[in-house]
Amino acid sequence: MEFIISPIFFTALLIITTEGIKNSTEALVRKFLYTFALAHVLIICLFFMDAAYSWVDISPLQIAEKNPLMVFPSFLSLLIVALLVFFGRRVIWGLFLVNILQLLIVIPVLLLVENDTDTSFLSFNTLSMMYLSLAGCFLAMPVGASLIPVKGTRYHEIMYKGRESLLDGLREFAQRHNLEYTAPATIYETGAVKGSIGDAAIEIDTKPSLFPPAYRLRITVKKGPEARKFERKSIKGVDMSVEEIETFCLG
Protein backbone atom coordinates (compact mmCIF):
# COMPACT_ATOMS: atom_id res chain seq x y z
CA MET A 1 0.00 0.00 0.00
CA GLU A 2 2.83 2.39 0.86
CA PHE A 3 4.31 1.93 -2.64
CA ILE A 4 1.03 3.26 -4.03
CA ILE A 5 0.44 6.07 -1.53
CA SER A 6 3.99 7.50 -1.55
CA PRO A 7 4.19 8.43 -5.28
CA ILE A 8 0.68 9.90 -5.16
CA PHE A 9 1.52 11.91 -2.03
CA PHE A 10 4.80 13.16 -3.53
CA THR A 11 3.13 14.13 -6.83
CA ALA A 12 0.33 15.97 -5.01
CA LEU A 13 2.88 17.92 -2.94
CA LEU A 14 4.85 18.80 -6.08
CA ILE A 15 1.74 20.11 -7.86
CA ILE A 16 0.55 22.09 -4.83
CA THR A 17 3.99 23.63 -4.31
CA THR A 18 4.55 24.63 -7.93
CA GLU A 19 1.07 26.11 -8.22
CA GLY A 20 1.65 27.97 -4.96
CA ILE A 21 4.84 29.51 -6.33
CA LYS A 22 3.31 30.29 -9.71
CA ASN A 23 0.14 31.92 -8.31
CA SER A 24 1.63 33.43 -5.16
CA THR A 25 -0.46 35.89 -3.14
CA GLU A 26 -0.13 37.06 0.47
CA ALA A 27 -3.21 35.08 1.50
CA LEU A 28 -1.89 31.91 -0.16
CA VAL A 29 1.56 32.31 1.38
CA ARG A 30 -0.04 32.59 4.84
CA LYS A 31 -1.93 29.34 4.23
CA PHE A 32 1.31 27.58 3.30
CA LEU A 33 3.03 29.04 6.38
CA TYR A 34 0.26 27.97 8.78
CA THR A 35 0.07 24.49 7.22
CA PHE A 36 3.86 24.16 7.52
CA ALA A 37 3.60 25.02 11.23
CA LEU A 38 0.67 22.62 11.68
CA ALA A 39 2.66 19.74 10.14
CA HIS A 40 5.37 20.17 12.74
CA VAL A 41 2.92 20.57 15.62
CA LEU A 42 1.43 17.21 14.56
CA ILE A 43 4.89 15.62 14.52
CA ILE A 44 5.36 16.80 18.11
CA CYS A 45 1.93 15.41 19.06
CA LEU A 46 2.75 12.04 17.47
CA PHE A 47 5.58 11.62 19.94
CA PHE A 48 3.04 11.45 22.78
CA MET A 49 0.64 9.05 21.08
CA ASP A 50 0.62 5.42 22.15
CA ALA A 51 -1.84 4.02 19.64
CA ALA A 52 -0.44 1.95 16.76
CA TYR A 53 3.14 2.99 17.48
CA SER A 54 4.51 -0.53 17.61
CA TRP A 55 3.47 -4.15 17.59
CA VAL A 56 3.95 -4.25 21.37
CA ASP A 57 2.29 -2.17 24.07
CA ILE A 58 4.92 0.57 24.39
CA SER A 59 4.79 4.33 24.05
CA PRO A 60 7.31 6.64 22.36
CA LEU A 61 8.19 8.05 25.81
CA GLN A 62 9.06 4.55 27.04
CA ILE A 63 11.13 3.97 23.90
CA ALA A 64 12.91 7.29 24.46
CA GLU A 65 13.90 6.26 27.99
CA LYS A 66 15.84 3.36 26.52
CA ASN A 67 16.99 5.11 23.34
CA PRO A 68 17.08 8.96 23.52
CA LEU A 69 17.58 9.17 19.73
CA MET A 70 13.81 8.67 19.48
CA VAL A 71 13.34 12.26 20.69
CA PHE A 72 15.48 13.89 17.98
CA PRO A 73 12.97 14.16 15.07
CA SER A 74 10.28 15.57 17.36
CA PHE A 75 12.83 17.90 18.99
CA LEU A 76 13.63 19.35 15.55
CA SER A 77 9.92 19.99 14.98
CA LEU A 78 9.74 21.73 18.35
CA LEU A 79 12.73 23.87 17.35
CA ILE A 80 11.08 24.76 14.02
CA VAL A 81 7.81 25.80 15.69
CA ALA A 82 9.64 27.85 18.35
CA LEU A 83 11.76 29.72 15.79
CA LEU A 84 8.69 30.33 13.65
CA VAL A 85 6.81 31.83 16.61
CA PHE A 86 9.69 34.14 17.58
CA PHE A 87 11.03 35.15 14.16
CA GLY A 88 8.21 34.51 11.68
CA ARG A 89 8.63 33.76 8.02
CA ARG A 90 11.91 35.66 7.62
CA VAL A 91 13.80 32.59 8.88
CA ILE A 92 11.88 30.15 6.66
CA TRP A 93 14.91 29.08 4.59
CA GLY A 94 16.76 28.20 7.81
CA LEU A 95 13.71 26.22 8.96
CA PHE A 96 13.62 24.54 5.56
CA LEU A 97 17.20 23.30 6.11
CA VAL A 98 16.28 22.02 9.58
CA ASN A 99 13.29 20.26 8.01
CA ILE A 100 15.58 18.66 5.41
CA LEU A 101 17.84 17.45 8.24
CA GLN A 102 14.82 15.98 10.01
CA LEU A 103 13.70 14.18 6.86
CA LEU A 104 17.17 12.74 6.31
CA ILE A 105 17.61 11.43 9.86
CA VAL A 106 14.09 10.23 10.69
CA ILE A 107 14.46 6.86 8.93
CA PRO A 108 18.01 6.08 10.23
CA VAL A 109 16.88 7.04 13.76
CA LEU A 110 13.85 4.75 13.57
CA LEU A 111 15.98 1.90 12.25
CA LEU A 112 18.48 2.33 15.08
CA VAL A 113 15.67 2.38 17.62
CA GLU A 114 14.19 -0.72 16.02
CA ASN A 115 17.30 -2.65 17.04
CA ASP A 116 16.46 -2.06 20.71
CA THR A 117 12.65 -2.29 20.63
CA ASP A 118 9.98 -4.04 18.65
CA THR A 119 9.02 -0.81 16.88
CA SER A 120 7.04 -1.21 13.67
CA PHE A 121 8.57 0.81 10.85
CA LEU A 122 5.18 0.69 9.11
CA SER A 123 3.13 1.85 12.11
CA PHE A 124 0.76 4.80 11.96
CA ASN A 125 3.04 7.11 13.96
CA THR A 126 6.26 6.46 12.09
CA LEU A 127 4.70 6.72 8.65
CA SER A 128 2.78 9.86 9.64
CA MET A 129 6.00 11.43 10.95
CA MET A 130 7.80 10.78 7.66
CA TYR A 131 4.94 12.05 5.49
CA LEU A 132 4.50 15.18 7.62
CA SER A 133 8.23 15.90 7.51
CA LEU A 134 8.22 15.51 3.72
CA ALA A 135 5.17 17.78 3.46
CA GLY A 136 6.92 20.41 5.59
CA CYS A 137 9.81 20.61 3.11
CA PHE A 138 7.45 21.29 0.22
CA LEU A 139 5.22 23.70 2.16
CA ALA A 140 8.19 25.86 3.14
CA MET A 141 9.24 26.54 -0.46
CA PRO A 142 6.37 28.86 -1.54
CA VAL A 143 6.83 30.80 1.71
CA GLY A 144 10.55 31.21 1.08
CA ALA A 145 9.92 32.18 -2.54
CA SER A 146 7.73 35.08 -1.37
CA LEU A 147 10.60 36.71 0.56
CA ILE A 148 11.85 39.36 -1.85
CA PRO A 149 15.47 40.29 -1.02
CA VAL A 150 16.42 43.89 -0.25
CA LYS A 151 18.15 45.62 -3.14
CA GLY A 152 21.87 46.02 -2.59
CA THR A 153 22.22 42.83 -0.54
CA ARG A 154 24.20 39.78 -1.60
CA TYR A 155 21.00 37.71 -1.60
CA HIS A 156 19.40 40.18 -4.06
CA GLU A 157 22.45 40.03 -6.29
CA ILE A 158 22.35 36.22 -6.37
CA MET A 159 18.60 35.86 -6.92
CA TYR A 160 18.33 38.49 -9.67
CA LYS A 161 21.53 37.66 -11.51
CA GLY A 162 20.71 37.72 -15.22
CA ARG A 163 17.58 39.84 -14.60
CA GLU A 164 18.99 43.08 -13.13
CA SER A 165 18.15 45.34 -16.08
CA LEU A 166 14.69 43.81 -16.52
CA LEU A 167 13.84 44.35 -12.83
CA ASP A 168 14.53 48.10 -13.08
CA GLY A 169 13.43 48.34 -16.71
CA LEU A 170 9.86 47.20 -16.13
CA ARG A 171 9.38 49.69 -13.29
CA GLU A 172 10.89 52.53 -15.33
CA PHE A 173 8.85 51.63 -18.42
CA ALA A 174 5.64 51.71 -16.38
CA GLN A 175 6.54 55.10 -14.86
CA ARG A 176 7.44 56.64 -18.22
CA HIS A 177 4.13 55.68 -19.83
CA ASN A 178 1.81 55.79 -16.79
CA LEU A 179 1.13 52.06 -16.80
CA GLU A 180 0.15 49.74 -13.94
CA TYR A 181 3.22 48.13 -12.40
CA THR A 182 3.12 45.06 -10.14
CA ALA A 183 6.18 44.22 -8.07
CA PRO A 184 7.50 40.62 -8.11
CA ALA A 185 5.40 38.29 -5.96
CA THR A 186 8.21 35.72 -5.67
CA ILE A 187 11.96 35.62 -6.18
CA TYR A 188 11.31 33.80 -9.47
CA GLU A 189 9.37 36.73 -10.95
CA THR A 190 10.70 40.10 -12.09
CA GLY A 191 7.50 42.15 -12.04
CA ALA A 192 4.57 42.81 -14.37
CA VAL A 193 3.22 45.75 -16.40
CA LYS A 194 -0.26 46.31 -17.77
CA GLY A 195 -2.02 49.20 -19.48
CA SER A 196 -2.44 51.09 -22.74
CA ILE A 197 -0.28 53.45 -24.75
CA GLY A 198 -2.50 55.15 -27.32
CA ASP A 199 -4.57 52.44 -28.95
CA ALA A 200 -2.10 49.68 -28.06
CA ALA A 201 -2.88 47.42 -25.07
CA ILE A 202 0.32 46.22 -23.45
CA GLU A 203 0.76 43.33 -21.05
CA ILE A 204 4.10 42.12 -19.68
CA ASP A 205 4.46 39.30 -17.17
CA THR A 206 7.37 37.32 -15.81
CA LYS A 207 5.75 34.30 -14.15
CA PRO A 208 8.27 31.46 -14.33
CA SER A 209 8.03 28.37 -16.46
CA LEU A 210 7.74 25.35 -14.19
CA PHE A 211 7.95 22.53 -16.73
CA PRO A 212 10.78 22.85 -17.66
CA PRO A 213 11.96 25.15 -14.83
CA ALA A 214 13.09 28.51 -16.23
CA TYR A 215 12.70 32.25 -15.85
CA ARG A 216 10.26 33.66 -18.40
CA LEU A 217 9.44 37.02 -19.97
CA ARG A 218 6.25 37.43 -22.00
CA ILE A 219 5.22 40.64 -23.79
CA THR A 220 1.90 41.00 -25.59
CA VAL A 221 0.99 44.11 -27.60
CA LYS A 222 -2.58 44.25 -28.97
CA LYS A 223 -3.49 46.91 -31.48
CA GLY A 224 -6.96 46.42 -32.97
CA PRO A 225 -7.36 42.87 -34.25
CA GLU A 226 -3.60 42.35 -34.42
CA ALA A 227 -1.39 41.13 -31.62
CA ARG A 228 2.39 40.91 -31.41
CA LYS A 229 3.92 38.55 -28.90
CA PHE A 230 7.41 38.09 -27.55
CA GLU A 231 8.55 35.31 -25.21
CA ARG A 232 11.92 34.45 -23.78
CA LYS A 233 12.73 31.54 -21.42
CA SER A 234 16.06 30.75 -19.84
CA ILE A 235 17.30 29.12 -16.65
CA LYS A 236 20.13 31.70 -16.57
CA GLY A 237 17.85 34.76 -16.68
CA VAL A 238 15.77 36.82 -19.10
CA ASP A 239 17.39 40.25 -18.99
CA MET A 240 16.07 43.15 -21.08
CA SER A 241 16.69 46.89 -20.78
CA VAL A 242 13.96 49.55 -20.73
CA GLU A 243 15.06 50.69 -24.19
CA GLU A 244 14.60 47.16 -25.60
CA ILE A 245 11.17 46.91 -23.96
CA GLU A 246 10.13 50.25 -25.49
CA THR A 247 11.45 49.25 -28.91
CA PHE A 248 9.25 46.15 -28.98
CA CYS A 249 6.15 47.70 -27.40
CA LEU A 250 6.16 50.95 -29.31
CA GLY A 251 7.52 49.49 -32.52
246 vs 251: CA distance, rounded Å: 8
Residue 113 sits in which domain range?
A: 2-145
SS3 content of the chain, % helix, strand, coil (to 5): 60, 15, 25
**Average model confidence (pLDDT) across the chain:** 87
Q: Which residues lie closer than 8 Å to 220 by C-beta, 6 or more apart?
A: 202, 203, 204, 227, 228, 229, 230
Contact assessment for residue 128 and residue 42, using Cβ atoms and an 8 Å cutoff: yes
- Residue-level pLDDT at 202: 94
Last residue of a domain, one of 110, 145, 180: 145
Last residue of a domain, one of 122, 145, 168: 145
- Residue-level pLDDT at 3: 62
Residues 127 and 207 in one domain: no
Residues 141 and 162 in one domain: no
88 vs 29: CA distance, rounded Å: 12
Q: How many folded domains does the chain comprise?
A: 2
- Residue-level pLDDT at 183: 92
Top mean-pLDDT range of 90-104, 152-166, 205-219, 237-251:
90-104
pLDDT digits (tens, 9 = 90+) for 135-183: 999 999 999 999 999 888 888 888 888 898 999 999 999 999 999 999 9
Phi, psi of 130 (to 5 degrees): -70, -45
Contact assessment for residue 115 and residue 58, using Cβ atoms and an 8 Å cutoff: no
pLDDT digits (tens, 9 = 90+) for 67-125: 787 888 889 999 999 999 999 999 999 999 999 999 999 888 877 777 766 666 667 77
